[in-house]
């Protein structure tokens, strides 16, 4: 598994597609894909949106990182960093940020590579 993270609108998806030879047909969009698509797609972008949708529907996410690692070990996951900036007043948004961060920490531990993208430039921060 490969995890790609960075701020919003930093070119993470384009970086992932170019670096790992992915095309649109291989990608699942976390904003709109089915709950099962992340286990089949070669690449997943807007992963943070997938988590938000799951929380809004009250889905259980405790095993998401482990399930994804086992069921789709070759996935390239693209996610926005959410922990910087002002802490939201709204309890749901605080929980969303914390849940996303915790899931991404678990994915980073299990991933063979972790990349951070800023201004379209990727930096490998973990490589097993």
Domain boundaries of the chain, sorted by first residue:
2-127
Q: How many Å apart are CA 69 and CA 105, to the nearest integer?
A: 13
Q: What is the pLDDT of residue 18?
A: 98
Q: CA neighbours within 13 Å on the CB side: how many for 9?
A: 0
How is residue 100 written in tokens?
A: 């996303």
Q: How many Å apart are CA 74 and CA 111, to the nearest integer?
A: 9
Q: How many Å apart are CA 37 and CA 41, to the nearest integer?
A: 6
Domain 2-127, CATH 3.40.50.300 — does that match?
yes
Taking alpha carbons only, the member of 53, 33, 39 closest to residue 100 is 53
Q: What is the pLDDT of residue 86?
A: 83
How is residue 26 written in tokens?
A: 């291989």
Residues in the chain with pLDDT < 70?
A: none
Q: What does DSSP assign to residue 78?
A: E
Q: How many Å apart are CA 13 and CA 36, to the nearest integer?
A: 20
pTM of the model: 0.95
Q: What is the pLDDT of residue 128?
A: 87
């Amino acid at each position: 598994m490969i995890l790609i993270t960075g701020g919003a609108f930093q070119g993470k998806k384009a970086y992932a597609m170019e670096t790992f030879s992915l095309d649109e047909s291989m990608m699942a969009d976390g904003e709109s894909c089915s709950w099962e698509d992340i286990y089949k797609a070669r690449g997943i972008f807007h992963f943070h949106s997938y988590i938000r949708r799951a929380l809004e529907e009250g889905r259980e996410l405790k095993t998401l990182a482990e399930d994804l690692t086992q069921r789709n070990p070759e996935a390239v996951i693209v996610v926005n960093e959410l922990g910087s900036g002002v802490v939201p007043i709204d309890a749901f948004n605080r929980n969303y940020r914390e849940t996303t961060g915790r899931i991404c920490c678990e994915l980073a531990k299990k991933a063979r590579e972790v990349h951070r993208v800023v201004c379209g430039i990727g930096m490998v921060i973990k490589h097993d």
